[in-house]
Structure 1
Amino acid sequence: MRVTFLGTGTSQGVPVIGCNCPVCASLDFRDKRLRSSIHLEIAGKSLVIDTGPDFRAQMLREQISKLDAVIFTHEHKDHTAGLDDIRPFNFMQKKDMPVFATTKVLNQIKREFAYIFEEVKYPGVPQVKAETISKDEVFEIEGISIHPIEVMHYRLPVLGFRIGDFTYITDAKTIAPRELEKIKGSKVLVLNALQSSHHISHFTLDEAIEMVHLIQPEKAYFTHISHKLGTHADVERKLPDHIRLAFDGLKFDLV
């Protein structure tokens, strides 16, 4: 499995429009964060988790020319707004794009992208095959088994996903004991760490570190990062050796 961080920023991205704080003004490329998403290459298959507003730019930057499916964590715009840009994959691959999400998320997508799901479609709109998933059932994409993990984004259920020894979680504030058991044993864990100060719906940096200590993966990466966390260089210096801040374009292989 090869994991590529397409974006590691929060809903506004970094830099934030109109902000001149040290993070937004930073010249370090690691402090330039598009909205959170990852790309997975597994056994010749290409999967994306979440298509945020920056999806097109992310696909171009990483030169991704094949996509077998899209999986959604939840319905917020910073995770779904780029869905229209699957069209080139429809044209190249000459097939509908399988889109995996819970019923609630699919219903929201159908409202926001109503033109995709109309009975009589305008020529050239995205071609989607909606696939319903549940937090309690393992599902497969092209023979790849994916285990959903429910986390709470304040009061909103969000799905994380475990594939083999890799677990990806974003937009979490709490994780129930039953769901934690699904994560334990992961070699690599990706977790959101928004900022240092309290937030109603996201892990703070300290809360994310505590969660890593509880789950005990071999390696952890933090994502969904706000400009309020601090510069990449400053924060990394304070982290234990097995925990790193992810950054846009970061890649690693997991055997």
Structure 2
Amino acid sequence: MKITFLGTGTSQGVPVIGCQCEVCRSLDFRDKRLRTSIHIEVDEKSLVIDTGPDFRAQMLRERIDHLDAVLMTHEHKDHTAGLDDVRAYNFKQDMDMPVYGRKPVLEQIEREFSYIFASNKYPGIPRVKLHEIINEPFEITGTKILPINVLHYKLPVFGFRIKDFTYITDVNYISEEEKQKIRGSSVVVLSALQKNDHLSHFNLEQAIDVVKELEIPTAYFIHMGHRMGLHSVVEEELPKGMHLAYDGLKLEL
């Protein structure tokens, strides 16, 4: 399995428009964060989790010329807004793009991208095929995917486990039952917005505590805002086996 972090930033990205803090002014490329998304190559398949506003730029940057499916974690715009750009893959691969998500996510996609589903379709619009996920394992052409149901304040969000890799974004609560699905992972990717408390996201300390509780040997934190601090500084403060992810980081599992 090959993992590429397409984006590791929160909804505003980093730098934040108009901000002059040291993180937003940093020249370290690791402090430049597009909206959170990830690319997974597994079993000769190419999967993307979430198509945020930066989707086109991310796919061009990583030169991803084939895409088999999109998985959506939830319906917030920083995770769905770039869906229109799957049409490049429609044209290249001559196929409708499978898009997987829970029912409210698919319903929102149908509303916000209504032109895709119009009875009289304009030439050249994206072609997608929606697949509803419930909180049970499912397969994408033979690859088993385990949904992990978490809460983003009061909004249900799906994380996903593929083999020994678990990916969870936008979370501030994981039930004991869902934690059992994460146990045994060799790598977990987990949202950690900032150092201070937040209403709807784990802060850094809370995310570290989850990794320790579940005894995951390697963890990468994502969905970070500028208030997290400089990458170079925070990385040195983390426990062994834990890291801040950054845009363009690649893992081989």
TM-score in terms of structure 1 length: 0.99
Output the CA distance in 1 between the equivalents of 2:3 and 2:118: 34
Secondary structure of 2:156's counterpart equals strand
Q: Counterpart in 2 of 1:97?
A: 97
Q: Counterpart in 2 of 1:172?
A: 171
Q: Counterpart in 2 of 1:24?
A: 24
Q: Counterpart in 2 of 1:82?
A: 82
Give 1:216 shift: 1.0
Give 1:223 shift: 0.2
Equivalent residues, number: 253
The C-alpha deviation readout for 1:10-45, integer Å capped at 9, x for no partner, is 000000000010000000000000000000001211
The C-alpha deviation readout for 1:63-86, integer Å capped at 9, x for no partner, is 000000000000000000000000
Secondary structure of 1:87's counterpart equals helix
Q: Counterpart in 2 of 1:204?
A: 203
Query: Given the alignment of the two structures, is residue 183 of structure 1 paired with residue 182 of structure 2, yes or no?
Result: yes
Amino acid at match of 2:134: S
Amino acid at match of 1:47: L
Amino acid at match of 2:83: L
Secondary structure of 2:237's counterpart equals coil
Q: Counterpart in 2 of 1:12?
A: 12
Amino acid at match of 1:215: L
The C-alpha deviation readout for 1:89-148, integer Å capped at 9, x for no partner, is 00000010000001110001111000011122111000001011112x111112100000
Give 1:241 shift: 1.8
Q: Counterpart in 1 of 2:235?
A: 236
Q: Counterpart in 2 of 1:247?
A: 246
Q: Counterpart in 1 of 2:217?
A: 218
Give 1:243 shift: 0.1
Output the CA distance in 1 between the equivalents of 2:22 and 2:160: 34
RMSD of the alignment, in Å?
A: 0.5
Secondary structure of 1:237's counterpart equals helix
Amino acid at match of 1:177: E
Query: Given the alignment of the two structures, is residue 151 of structure 1 paired with residue 150 of structure 2, yes or no?
Result: yes
Amino acid at match of 1:2: K
Secondary structure of 2:67's counterpart equals coil
Output the CA distance in 2 between the equivalents of 1:202 and 1:2: 27
Amino acid at match of 2:106: L
| Percent of matched pairs sharing the same residue | 63
Give 1:169 shift: 0.2
Output the CA distance in 1 between the equivalents of 2:51 and 2:209: 29
Q: Counterpart in 2 of 1:163?
A: 162
Secondary structure of 2:234's counterpart equals helix
Q: Counterpart in 2 of 1:109?
A: 109
Q: Counterpart in 1 of 2:46?
A: 46
Amino acid at match of 1:118: A
TM-score in terms of structure 2 length: 0.99
Output the CA distance in 1 between the equivalents of 2:98 and 2:171: 25
Output the CA distance in 2 between the equivalents of 1:232 and 1:149: 28
Output the CA distance in 2 between the equivalents of 1:4 and 1:244: 15
Secondary structure of 1:211's counterpart equals helix
Output the CA distance in 2 between the equivalents of 1:124 and 1:35: 26
Secondary structure of 2:111's counterpart equals helix
